[in-house]
């Protein structure tokens, strides 16, 4: 239908925001990409990255056929040969060295592909390796761990009810740039101005006064990694001042007394000097939160990628819970998507697990069948039974996105075989034996399966493919099932026949979901066919309360004081109040930041996105002065792991002794074929981050807060 007119409506599949796009084509080329004003979720919002859909599609560097490495050359090969070789490589290594000798690593963009999400299980089952990794453990792992421990299901992640809250407290997230994450908002600026218009308040807590902080009613500087202390002191204040009012859900909670006792050790007076937040500010923060008509506390990368991410995410949930701000309008609520993964996960016995086993070398804990990314490189480099010798990556530039790129580089170049599913020969896939390129987003259908479960207002949308998929291209699910079938020794055709196209599976999931028609052919509710009739998406209304019905712990309780969290408090105390607790002299603490025209490590090959997209470090004038650094100078940032040079920008919008550096750069690796990115190489922040900085409780990489040496270059 829309093919004729050349106008297509679809969600953007680059980030969790899932903004509605209008893509106009002349049948062969994209003419324009604009925001869809009729999309009830994003109401016309898009960001500069959306146009990368066109650039990616037209990029001459993008692989159009599989390639095989022969010596230092890449040879194009056909799909059957490529899939046969990939499967043979994996099977060969597993036969010789055991099942765990091949590792799997799934990267961030897979979260936006329903094709991937609906086909990954057969691959996991076919590989049967304990060495399963993903970007989760450099991203949102602590949030999922906390959701599992507190609400009983790793997918029960509550989102702030931005439409109705009157008090929004944000830790470690620059919402106006990132658009938020572990929540799908669509149009952040609009939602935050709505909050202001209602007379609500926005408060940010961050070592940097970023764009969102500048738009906030109050900004609080905090020393990196100390958020758990601040939250404990806030909770302590609430208990001390009789402000704990858990409300309706109280009878479904357990652990209140344990939480009170835990917080007793952390009064505002004690945590103030460590966090850098004045005592009275801490108390006032707690009171304001408790007394607001409806409050929501949320945090993202700043409270995940740090040494105490697990504790901090638990405490964020606890703060919301004991003030009665969970599962009520204006607080933290749960989305009700058309495909509801939570009960499916529960039924499959996969609600979550923590520390059932540990990684072989570094002893880091398992979470829900995955091991932490920070553990992988030791597994590759350390000989012994179970050593990883083969790697299958799907949609990750892990060579740059993991800490300590020097060590990662050493590990990747030592592998016996590596298969990558990716568009490019980039900094990571250049290590591969075979690269299997997938169709571009314009060549396949889009459905935001994962992000619709995190929407701040219920909504469903399905986007048709804009272009026919060329005969020579394959979708990710075809590649994944193609490898899985070969590993299982099943003819690929049988595999597809059994599982069907993702859209068929999707239809089944929608029919059996919360709004579904059921399995009868003429049921009343939603089907994929009906959803397809609403190209701008269907507005399914504001978030609605769902507890206690959706509690999945065996005792059906919300746990305010999970044992793994209580146990981890000793590490927190030792770290900040133990005998070795003084900060490193003369060093600065590194924090990361997102920028408007970058998407992690993969949209730098498009010249339009590289205009006014500088690679620069932000530091405080005081720190610059003591080092003889002036605005615009080239500085050297170093640690035990490595070093790089970057331009310094001086600003008072950052705490003294902090340095903020964006990620996504480092395109100077030999053999990568990214001609535009190569001209804007910059340096990779992870050249100076260490694999040893890990949140021991859950295995999350502590990318933020590491100490680095900073001096003038040259």
DSSP label of 687: G
| Cα 642 to Cα 405, 637, 638, 683, 702, distances in angstroms | 8, 9, 6, 11, 17
User: To the nearest whole angstrom, how small is the minimum distance from the Cβ of residue 402 to Mo ion?
Assistant: 13
Assign residue 200 a region: left if phi > 0, alpha if psi is -120 to 50, beta otherwise? beta
Distance, in Å, from the CA atom of 198 to the CA atom of 167, rounded to the nearest integer, reads 10
User: To the nearest whole angstrom, how small is the minimum distance from the Cβ of residue 52 to ligand SF4?
Assistant: 8
241 and 208 in contact (C-beta within 8 Å)?
Answer: no
First CA to last CA across the chain, in angstroms? 62
12, interface contact from Mo ion, ligand MGD, ligand SF4, none, CB < 5-8 Å by kind: ligand SF4
55 and 608 in contact (C-beta within 8 Å)?
Answer: yes
User: What is the Rg, in whole angstroms, of the alpha carbon atoms belonging to the chain?
Assistant: 25
Angle subtended at Cα 359 by Cα 354 and Cα 363, rounded to the nearest 5 degrees: 85
The structure tokens 């003084």 sit at: 582
Q: Rounded to an integer, what is the distance from CA 652 to the centroid of its chain?
A: 29
Q: Which of 86, 179, 237, 387 binds ligand MGD (CB under 6 A)?
A: 179
Interaction of residue 181 with ligand MGD, rule CB under 6 A: yes
Neighbours of 288 (CB within 10 A): 15
| Cα 173 to Cα 248, 281, 661, 690, distances in angstroms | 30, 20, 15, 22
Restricting to residues 205-234, name those near ligand MGD by CB under 6 A. 205-208, 210, 222, 224-225, 227
Q: Which of 19, 528 has the CB closer to ligand SF4? A: 19
DSSP β-ladder status, 558-559 and 700-701: unpaired
Distance, in Å, from the CA atom of 691 to the CA atom of 405, rounded to the nearest integer, reads 9
Distance, in Å, from the CA atom of 297 to the CA atom of 299, rounded to the nearest integer, reads 7
User: To the nearest whole angstrom, how small is the minimum distance from the Cβ of residue 687 to ligand SF4?
Assistant: 26
Q: Which of 19, 617 has the CB closer to ligand SF4? A: 19
Q: Which of 102, 685 has the CB closer to ligand MGD? A: 685
Interaction of residue 599 with ligand MGD, rule CB under 6 A: yes
Half-sphere exposure of 172 (CA within 13 A, CB side): 27
Among 288, 292, 297, 289, CA closest to 332: 297
11 and 448 in contact (C-beta within 8 Å)?
Answer: yes
168, interface contact from Mo ion, ligand MGD, ligand SF4, none, CB < 5-8 Å by kind: none
306, interface contact from ligand MGD, ligand SF4, Mo ion, none, CB < 5-8 Å by kind: ligand MGD
Mask for 43-62, x = binds ligand SF4 (CB under 6 A): ---xx-xx------------
Interaction of residue 111 with ligand SF4, rule CB under 6 A: no
Q: Which of 9, 10, 19, 307 binds ligand SF4 (CB under 6 A)?
A: 19
Q: Which of 10, 15, 417, 694 binds ligand SF4 (CB under 6 A)?
A: 15
User: To the nearest whole angstrom, how small is the minimum distance from the Cβ of residue 663 to ligand MGD?
Assistant: 4
Among 133, 139, 134, 192, CA closest to 300: 139
Mask for 299-318, x = binds ligand MGD (CB under 6 A): -xxxx-xx------------
19, interface contact from ligand MGD, ligand SF4, Mo ion, none, CB < 5-8 Å by kind: ligand SF4
* Alpha helices per DSSP H over 454-501: 476-488, 492-499
| Partners of 354 in the β-ladder | 367
Q: Which of 478, 600 has the CB closer to ligand SF4? A: 600
User: To the nearest whole angstrom, how small is the minimum distance from the Cβ of residue 618 to ligand MGD?
Assistant: 9
User: To the nearest whole angstrom, how small is the minimum distance from the Cβ of residue 288 to ligand MGD?
Assistant: 17
Q: Please count the residues of the chain.
A: 714
Interaction of residue 41 with ligand MGD, rule CB under 6 A: no
User: To the nearest whole angstrom, how small is the minimum distance from the Cβ of residue 14 to ligand SF4?
Assistant: 4
Tokens, residue 511: 């029919």
The residue at minimum Cβ distance from ligand MGD is 302
290 and 597 in contact (C-beta within 8 Å)?
Answer: no
Interaction of residue 439 with ligand MGD, rule CB under 6 A: no
Restricting to residues 69-128, name those near ligand MGD by CB under 6 A. 107-109, 113
DSSP label of 50: G
Neighbours of 598 (CB within 10 A): 23
Q: Which of 324, 463 has the CB closer to ligand MGD? A: 463
Q: Which of 372, 662 has the CB closer to ligand SF4? A: 662
User: To the nearest whole angstrom, how small is the minimum distance from the Cβ of residue 223 to ligand MGD?
Assistant: 7
User: To the nearest whole angstrom, how small is the minimum distance from the Cβ of residue 51 to ligand SF4?
Assistant: 9
Q: Which of 11, 399 has the CB closer to ligand SF4? A: 11
Interaction of residue 598 with ligand MGD, rule CB under 6 A: yes
Interaction of residue 706 with ligand MGD, rule CB under 6 A: no
| Cα 664 to Cα 49, 110, 427, distances in angstroms | 14, 18, 11
Restricting to residues 164-203, name those near ligand SF4 by CB under 6 A. 179
Q: Which of 66, 592 has the CB closer to Mo ion? A: 592
Contacts of 692 (CB under 8 A, 6+ apart): none
Half-sphere exposure of 200 (CA within 13 A, CB side): 26
Interaction of residue 592 with ligand MGD, rule CB under 6 A: yes
DSSP β-ladder status, 588-593 and 706-712: antiparallel
Mask for 644-683, x = binds ligand MGD (CB under 6 A): ----------------x--x--------------------
Q: Which of 134, 179 has the CB closer to ligand SF4? A: 179
* Binding region for ligand SF4 (CB under 6 A): 12, 14-15, 17-19, 46-47, 49-50, 179
* Binding region for ligand MGD (CB under 6 A): 15, 107-109, 113, 135, 138-139, 171-175, 177-179, 181, 205-208, 210, 222, 224-225, 227, 300-303, 305-306, 394-398, 401, 421-424, 426, 438, 476, 591-594, 596, 598-602, 660, 663, 685-686, 689, 703-705
């Amino acid at each position: 239908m829309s093919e004729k007119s050349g106008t297509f409506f679809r969600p953007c599949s680059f980030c969790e925001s899932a903004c509605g796009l209008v893509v106009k084509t002349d049948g062969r080329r994209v003419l324009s990409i604009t925001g869809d004003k009729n999309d009830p979720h994003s109401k016309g919002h898009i960001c500069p990255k959306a146009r990368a859909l066109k650039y990616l599609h037209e990029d001459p560097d993008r692989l159009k056929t599989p390639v095989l490495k022969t010596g230092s050359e890449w040879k194009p090969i056909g799909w059957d040969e490529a899939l046969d070789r990939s499967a043979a490589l994996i099977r060969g290594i597993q036969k010789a060295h055991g099942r765990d000798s091949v590792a799997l690593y799934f990267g961030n963009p897979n979260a936006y592909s329903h094709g991937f999400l609906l086909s990954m299980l057969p691959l996991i089952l076919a590989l049967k390796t304990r060495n399963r990794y993903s970007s989760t453990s450099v991203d949102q792992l602590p949030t999922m761990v906390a959701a599992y421990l507190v609400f009983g299901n790793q997918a029960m992640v509550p989102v702030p009810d931005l439409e109705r809250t009157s008090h929004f407290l944000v830790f470690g997230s620059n919402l106006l740039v990132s658009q938020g994450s572990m929540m799908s908002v669509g149009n952040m600026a609009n939602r935050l101005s709505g909050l202001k218009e209602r007379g609500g308040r926005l408060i940010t807590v961050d070592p940097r006064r970023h764009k969102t902080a500048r738009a906030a009613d109050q900004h609080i500087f905090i020393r990196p990694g100390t958020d758990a202390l601040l939250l404990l002191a806030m909770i302590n204040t609430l208990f001390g001042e009789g402000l704990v009012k858990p409300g309706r859900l109280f009878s479904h909670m357990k652990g209140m007394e344990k939480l009170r006792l835990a917080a007793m050790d952390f009064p505002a007076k004690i945590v103030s000097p460590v966090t850098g937040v004045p005592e009275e500010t801490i108390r006032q923060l707690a009171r304001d939160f408790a007394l607001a008509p409806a409050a929501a506390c949320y945090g993202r990368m700043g409270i995940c990628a740090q040494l105490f991410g697990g504790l901090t995410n638990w405490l964020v949930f606890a703060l919301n819970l004991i003030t009665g701000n969970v599962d009520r309008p204006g607080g933290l609520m749960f989305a009700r998507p058309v495909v509801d993964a939570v009960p499916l996960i529960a039924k499959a016995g996969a609600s979550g697990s923590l520390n059932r086993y540990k990684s072989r070398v570094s002893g880091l804990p398992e979470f829900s069948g995955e091991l932490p990314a920070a553990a992988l490189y030791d597994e590759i480099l350390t000989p012994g039974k179970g050593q990883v010798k083969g790697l299958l990556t799907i949609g990750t530039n892990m060579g740059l996105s993991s800490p300590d790129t020097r060590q990662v580089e050493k590990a990747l170049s030592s592998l016996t075989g590596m298969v990558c599913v990716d568009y490019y020969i980039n900094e990571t896939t250049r290590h591969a034996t075979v690269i299997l390129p997938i169709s571009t987003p314009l060549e396949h259908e889009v459905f935001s399966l994962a992000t619709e479960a995190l929407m701040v207002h219920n909504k469903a949308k399905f986007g048709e493919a804009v272009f026919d998929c060329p005969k020579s291209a394959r979708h990710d699910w075809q590649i994944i099932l193609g490898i899985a079938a070969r590993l299982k020794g099943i003819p690929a055709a049988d595999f597809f026949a059994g599982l069907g196209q993702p859209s068929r599976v999707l239809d089944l999931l929608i029919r059996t979901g919360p709004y579904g028609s059921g399995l009868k052919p003429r049921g009343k509710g939603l089907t994929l066919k009906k959803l397809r009739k609403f190209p701008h998406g269907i507005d399914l209304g504001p978030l609605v309360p769902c507890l206690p019905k959706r509690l999945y712990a065996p005792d059906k309780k919300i746990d305010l004081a999970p044992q793994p969290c209580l146990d981890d408090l000793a590490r927190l105390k030792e770290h900040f109040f133990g005998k070795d607790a003084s900060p490193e002299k003369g060093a600065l603490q590194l924090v990361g930041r997102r920028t408007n025209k970058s998407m992690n490590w993969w949209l730098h090959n498009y010249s339009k996105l590289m205009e006014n997209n500088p690679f620069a470090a932000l530091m405080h004038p005081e720190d610059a002065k003591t080092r003889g650094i002036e605005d615009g100078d080239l500085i050297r940032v170093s640690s035990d792991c490595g070093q790089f040079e970057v331009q310094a920008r001086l600003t008072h919008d950052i705490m003294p002794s902090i340095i903020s550096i964006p990620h996504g750069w480092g395109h100077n690796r030999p053999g990568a074929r990214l001609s535009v990115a190569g001209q804007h190489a910059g340096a990779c922040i992870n050249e100076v981050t260490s694999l040893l900085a890990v949140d021991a409780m859950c295995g999350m990489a502590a990318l933020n807060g590491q100490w680095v040496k900073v001096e003038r270059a040259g």
